[in-house]
Amino acid sequence: MDGDLILMKQFKVFIEHEDTWHSFGTFQADNSEMALELARSSKRELIDQYSFTEEELPFINMEVEELPS
């Protein structure tokens, strides 16, 4: 595998909070599903920035957009 370069894509993740969509962050990932997983794993930021409870975290509406490379 010498010389092989793995290029990860960049994805912008949006979350819905109080009936409004917010830009949550940009994540490097292989695909959109992985980007959403990374966003969901950012529990502390979701709780601190948006006042979600631990119980609400699995139910947060999220959308993802692939950024041009």
The string of pLDDT tens digits covering residues 36-66 is 999 999 999 999 999 999 999 999 999 999 9
> Please, which residues have CB within 8 angstroms of residue 51's CB and are 6 or more apart in sequence?
none
Locate the domains of the chain by residue range. Answer: 9-66
Second-level CATH architecture of 9-66: Roll (3.10)
Residue showing tokens 């006042």? 51
The string of pLDDT tens digits covering residues 9-28 is 999 999 999 999 999 999 99
The DSSP result for 1-69, as a single string, is -TT---PPEEEEEEEEETTEEEEEEEEEESSHHHHHHHHHT-HHHHHHHH---TTTGGG--EEEEEPP-
